[in-house]
A and B are shown apart, each in its own frame.
Chain A
Amino acid sequence: MKWSQFFNTSIGKKLLVGATGLFLCSFVIVHLAGNFQLLYNDEGKAFNAYAQFMGHNSLIQFIAWGLKVVILIHAIIALKLTFSNRAARPVKYAVNPGNQTSSWFSRQMAIMGSILFIFIVIHLANFWGKFHYAEMPTHTYAGMEEPLKDLYALSYETFQNLWLVILYVIGMIGLSFHLIHGFKSAFQTFGLNHKKYNGLINFVGVWIFGILIPIGFALIPIVIYLKK
């Protein structure tokens, strides 16, 4: 079987969705760790220096563009699979089993993924787009010669808008519900299902990626909104 054929089979496509999904899981850890610097009481010195580094280091920029491509690959293949899965049952059941045979989260992957995708587009427009392609306020910190783009101030300004804070929380609920099933599902797709490890994979998927990390992200706009 050629590569082109392999990645056109149902399992081949799922392998791509799972692999890109786990790569994106690794990204959220780094992103959350960086963003917590927004909560330092240092007028944004640490966060803006970090943003300056992340926005201008060539290797990071290469990965950052790769990340956007990975998100698109993940979303496009998953959508294709979703549509062909819907088409596989042309006449629907009159009565459905609901949560009796499968978890609610496992059936909402496409919807939660779509919420997350819309959130990512808005989030990129809010910060990434403005940081790279718009006039930004700058701040010169003591002991630094060059002024830094003040992404910290932009964050504090953005999250004065209650509607945006709510939108970010909804986005993180989407992330939570997506990863509660998605993380462990990727391992099953890779064929990694073993009773010695299933407990750990399930724990990390539900508690770390499904609950802890989304709460961490959601806290940032909430705390910023409440601070002022």
Chain B
Amino acid sequence: MEHYNMNLTLKVWKQKNTNAQGGFETYSVKNISSEMSFLEMFDVLNEQLINEGKEPVAFDHDCREGICGMCSMHINGRAHGPWAGTTTCQLHMRAFKDGDTITVEPWRSGAFPVLKDLTVDRTAFDRIIEAGGYISVNTGNAQDANCLPVDKHSADLAFAAAACIGCGACVAACKNSSAMLFVSAKVSQLALLPQGDPERKTRALNMVAQMDKEGFGSCTNTGACEAECPKEISLTNIARLNREFIGAGFTSEK
């Protein structure tokens, strides 16, 4: 692909802290290489701001190779930008043209309060996992893996669900700020395997209850989460979560 440089105008959300009123700041960056990642472009912007004696833009990032789930920008109305199946760190500047204006916002959800600028607090996801996104295993020697036969197809589906990196793009993309795709991936990866079976009912009930408590909206099956998920988690997981939850709700004895 041909390399080119570009000058861009950035409209970036700036917010001092959770309680402060935020607003857009406009910046221009020059000579951005088409081979830079979106976050590298932000590094250039922040260098520039520091040299000018201004405060840099706060944004989340960690591994920068698309597997940790920390980066989280809403770019021109799209969670993780315009490319499908891509995190912001793997979005490259060749997705943009010279002279473009790019609007960058934080994930917007009551359950993900803005901490500063583009960083949001996603610990609501951690509390959902604590509510049931685990299996209880007694200590002692690990048993032979072959003792638990797993169908290859189920293992593949569980693996595809386990690809969820918990970045929150599903919540950001959903018009209802629903966390159903995240919760369904976390329920599915265990429900599909024998190890997850013993606690499947309490897991589904507790995780959904915690999801509601955190203030996420409900799912209206628009499919925006699946379209934006950098790990391309399927909507079939949401159907599975519904089955797990409805089945547990109709049969639980408590």
Contact = CB atoms under 8 A, between A and B. Distances in A.
Interface in A1-58: 1, 5-6, 9-15
A92 B108 contact: yes
Contacts of B217: 10, 84-85, 88-89
A102 B246 contact: no
Nearest to A110: B220
B235 A109 contact: no
A97 B224 CA distance: 9
Interface string B224-240: 10011000000110111
Contacts of B254: 1
Interface in B78-127: 78, 103, 105, 108-111, 114
Interface stretch (A63-71, A147-155, A190-198, A216-224): A190-198
A160 interface: no
Contact of B176 (A9, A88, A97): A88
Chain B: interface secondary structure? mixed
A226 interface: no
B208 A9 contact: yes
A101 B218 contact: no
Contact of B173 (A85, A97, A184): A97
A100 B175 CA distance: 13
Contacts of B175: 85, 89, 102, 107
Contacts of B215: 88
B24 interface: yes
A95 B110 contact: no
B243 interface: yes
Contacts of B22: 91
Contact of B242 (A11, A86, A88, A97): A11
B108 A93 contact: yes
Contacts of B220: 81, 85, 106, 109, 185
In this complex, the interface size class of chain A, counting residues with CB under 8 Å from chain B, is 35 or more
A77 to B, nearest CB: 10
In this complex, the interface size class of chain B, counting residues with CB under 8 Å from chain A, is 35 or more
B173 A103 contact: no
Given A94-B24, A101-B78, A102-B222, A188 B177 contact: no
A190 B173 contact: no
A105 to B, nearest CB: 9
A102 B241 CA distance: 21
A89 B74 CA distance: 14
A101 B176 contact: no
Given A93-B74, A106-B223, A85 B246 contact: no
Interface string A72-100: 00000000010011111111111111101
A102 to B, nearest CB: 4
Contacts of B228: 101
A10 B208 CA distance: 8
Interface of B: 11, 22, 24, 74, 76-78, 103, 105, 108-111, 114, 173, 175-178, 205, 208-209, 211-212, 215-224, 227-228, 235-236, 238-246, 248-250, 252, 254
The 8 closest A-B pairs by CB, nearest first: A191-B243, A193-B239, A95-B77, A85-B176, A88-B217, A10-B218, A85-B217, A102-B222
Given A10-B219, A191-B240, 18 more contacts: A9-B208, A9-B209, A10-B212, A10-B218, A11-B249, A14-B218, A14-B219, A86-B176, A89-B108, A89-B110, A89-B176, A100-B78, A103-B222, A106-B221, A106-B222, A107-B175, A185-B221, A191-B241
Interface of A: 1, 5-6, 9-15, 81, 84-98, 100-103, 106-107, 109, 181, 184-185, 188-193
26 contacts: A1-B205, A1-B209, A1-B248, A1-B249, A10-B208, A11-B246, A13-B218, A15-B246, A84-B218, A88-B215, A89-B110, A92-B108, A93-B74, A93-B77, A94-B11, A96-B77, A101-B223, A102-B223, A106-B220, A107-B175, A181-B221, A184-B221, A189-B242, A190-B242, A191-B239, A191-B241
